[in-house]
């Protein structure tokens, strides 16, 4: 690329850098703020003294989290759910997307399966029927209730299928000639060539499960509260103030215990960290992956 040293180009570069720096500040500031509040005293937060750096810094909130049982356990559950779900979802998604990406002649009921899959993008049975299925399959109060009903996302399946369609069939034909069967081709050729798509779709699945609280609310009960994922616990912590106000207005007899701001923000910060750690490692695949299916022909 030829370097353009014209004044207009330099001005444009400055504008771009200024804009990107501002954008970076807008994105980073909430994270820095959450971290600072988590390290500040509640009194300093109430007094409005925290806006960038921690004021009266202390590790009390993190100490409370680490010594308490709820947050560490829910963090562990969220990690287990996310890993398990991502692995299973990728396995099911790729094994369904691959045949659907190939010629109709090679796959029995190709059209029917495609139609059934696409149908679920537009129509859903709703919360109650899904709940009943989960109940009848004895999945209530188990980890599988969070994972199995959502194990394949049709959107991700379509992304994956589009990517597989871009892998030349000639590679498979060559492998066939060398004696490989369908499974060998899938594992030895197609998947290694699909790392970008796997990383992207895997990230979609991982983020989905990491942020998941609604299915935990529906399918888990207090009897298995050790299975509650982190986001569900965070939701309860964040809602405490509102619930406390409502409880007081309704004249309820039980006192609601409200967490301090630093504890809330520390829990929020802890929930952000794993995703922040994962992104840099898959970023190189991500740019390529999100382009999947965007150009045809």
Partner 1 sequence: MKLKKIVALATSAVMAVSLLASCGSSSTQGHIEQDGKTIYTYYLNMYTQDSKGYAEGQDTNFAQLIREKFNVQLEYDRIPRGDWETKTNLSYAVGNEADVTTGGKEPQYKKWASEDYLAPIPQEAYTGDDCILKDWKALWSEEDFKDVLALAKSSDGELYYLPTLRQEKAQMCWDYRKDIFDQLGITEFPKTVDELYDVCAKLKAAYPDKIIISCNGMGTTSPGSAITGFFQAYWIPELILTQHSYVDPVTGEYVPYALTTDAAREMYKTIKRFNDAGFIDKEIFSIDKDTFSSRLAQDNCFITYNYVYNIDDFNKKTKGTNADKTSNWTWTANMITAYPEKGTIYKRDPLYSNWGPAFSEGIEEDMDRYNALLEMFNWFATEEGQLYNTFGVKETDPEEIKAGVAPGNFSYSMVDGEPKYNPGWYDESNPETDQDKDKRLTTEYGSMGSQFAKEQHMFDNIRGKEVEALYNAFQAQPNYYYFDQIPMRYDEDEEQRFADLEIALNAKRDEYIQRFFTGDVDPNNDADWNMYISDMNKVGLQEFIELQTTVYERTKEAIEKEEAEMAAAEGKDSGEESPAEASEAPAAE
Q: Which residue number, 37 or 198, has a Cβ lying nearer to partner 1?
A: 37
CB of residue 138 vs partner 1: minimum separation in angstroms? 13
Q: Are 65 and 270 in contact (CB under 8 A)?
A: yes
Among 43, 76, 91, 137, which residue sits at the site for partner 1 (rule: CB under 8 A)?
Answer: 43
Sole binder of partner 1 in the list 189, 244, 278, 290 (CB under 8 A)? 244
- Give the footprint of partner 1 on residues 111-140 (CB under 8 A): 111-112, 115-116, 119, 123, 125-129, 131-133, 135
The least distance separating partner 1 from the CB of residue 241, rounded to whole angstroms, comes to 5
Residues with Cβ within 8 Å of 59's Cβ and at least 6 positions away in sequence, in order, are 39
4 touching partner 1, by CB under 8 A = no
**Among 4, 13, 173, 246, which residue interacts with partner 1 (rule: CB under 8 A)?**
246
Please, what is the minimum distance in Å from the beta carbon of residue 30 to partner 1?
Answer: 16
- Return the range that interacts with partner 1 (CB under 8 A); candidates 149-157, 160-168, 245-253, 280-288: 245-253
Print the binding letters for residues 52-91 with partner 1: x by CB under 8 A, - otherwise.
Answer: ----x-------------x---------------------
Give the residue with the Cβ less far from partner 1, 85 or 265.
Answer: 265
Residue 278 tokens read as: 């994962």
How many residues form the binding site for partner 1 (CB under 8 A)?
Answer: 54
Query: Considering beta carbons, is residue 27 or 123 the nearer one to partner 1?
Result: 123
Residue 57's CB is within 10 A of a number of other CB atoms, namely 13
Select the residue interacting with partner 1 from 76, 87, 239, 273 (CB under 8 A).
Answer: 239
| Residues of the shown chain interacting with partner 1 in the complex, contacts defined by CB under 8 A | 41, 43-48, 56, 70, 111-112, 115-116, 119, 123, 125-129, 131-133, 135, 217-218, 221-223, 225, 233, 235-236, 239-258, 261
């Amino acid at each position: 690329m030829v370097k353009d040293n014209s004044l207009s180009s330099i001005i444009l570069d400055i504008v771009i850098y200024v804009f990107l720096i501002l954008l970076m500040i807008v994105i980073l500031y909430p994270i820095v703020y959450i971290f600072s509040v988590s390290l500040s005293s509640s009194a300093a937060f109430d007094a409005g003294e925290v806006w960038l750096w921690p004021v009266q810094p202390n590790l009390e909130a993190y100490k409370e989290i680490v010594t308490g049982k709820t947050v560490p356990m829910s963090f562990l559950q969220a990690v287990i759910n996310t890993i398990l779900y991502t692995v299973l979802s990728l396995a099911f998604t790729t094994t369904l997307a691959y045949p659907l990406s190939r010629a109709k002649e090679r796959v029995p009921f190709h059209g029917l399966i495609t139609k059934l899959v696409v149908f679920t993008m537009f129509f859903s049975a709703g919360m109650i029927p899904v709940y009943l299925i989960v109940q009848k399959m004895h999945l209530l109060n188990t980890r599988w209730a969070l994972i199995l009903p959502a194990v394949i996302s049709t959107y991700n399946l379509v992304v994956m299928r589009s990517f597989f369609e871009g892998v030349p069939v000639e590679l498979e034909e060559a492998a066939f000639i060398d004696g490989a069967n369908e499974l060998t081709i899938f594992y030895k050729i197609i998947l290694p060539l699909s790392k970008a798509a796997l990383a992207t779709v895997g990230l979609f699945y991982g983020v989905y499960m990491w942020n998941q609280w609604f299915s935990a609310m529906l399918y888990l009960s207090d009897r298995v509260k050790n299975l509650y994922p982190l986001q569900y616990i965070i939701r309860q912590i964040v809602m405490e103030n509102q619930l406390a106000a409502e409880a007081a207005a309704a004249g309820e007899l039980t006192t609601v215990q409200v967490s301090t701001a630093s504890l809330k923000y520390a829990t929020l910060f802890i929930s952000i960290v794993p995703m922040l750690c994962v992104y840099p490692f898959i970023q190189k695949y991500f740019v390529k992956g999100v382009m999947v299916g965007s150009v045809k022909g």
